[in-house]
A = this chain, B = another copy of it.
Amino acid sequence: MKKNITTGLHILGEVFTKENSTLTDLPFIKNKILKLIEEIGLSNVGFTAHEFAGGGFTLIIALAESHFSIHTWPEMNYATLDVFVCNIDKDNTLLAKMFFNRVVKLLNPKSITQREIIR
């Protein structure tokens, strides 16, 4: 079955945060996350970012292993996270979980909904 070869892990998170400035601070988050990617041993191959008029932002990073995204809504102290890694060359499951957890910590979380999809 070809499908098994491509099995990847996609972690989807919806985070409500305590009052804090990280959800409007794209440069801070971008800098932290690019460093985290390097530290953890994933490979950044490109990114795009956009700041919205209301103060929220989107940051999406293409990884050799697939991608990362964060969308923030500071007016609701809310952000969504996606960490998607494929496991073709090696099993990246643990790295993905570690990466996800460390990003959540950056956001000063109050509550989180987290789902893991095998795809």
The interface of chain A, by Cβ under 8 A from chain B, is 2-3, 5-6, 8, 10, 12, 14, 16, 45-50, 52, 58, 60-62, 64, 66-67, 69, 71, 73, 76, 78, 80, 82, 84, 86, 88, 113, 115, 117, 119
Contact = CB atoms under 8 A, between A and B. Distances in A.
A49 to B, nearest CB: 7
Given A10-B12, A48-B48, A48-B62, 17 more contacts: A2-B16, A3-B16, A6-B73, A6-B80, A12-B117, A46-B48, A47-B48, A58-B67, A60-B60, A69-B84, A71-B86, A80-B119, A82-B82, A113-B119, A115-B117, A115-B119, A117-B117
> Which of A61, A115, A119 has the most chain B CB within a 10 Å cutoff?
A119
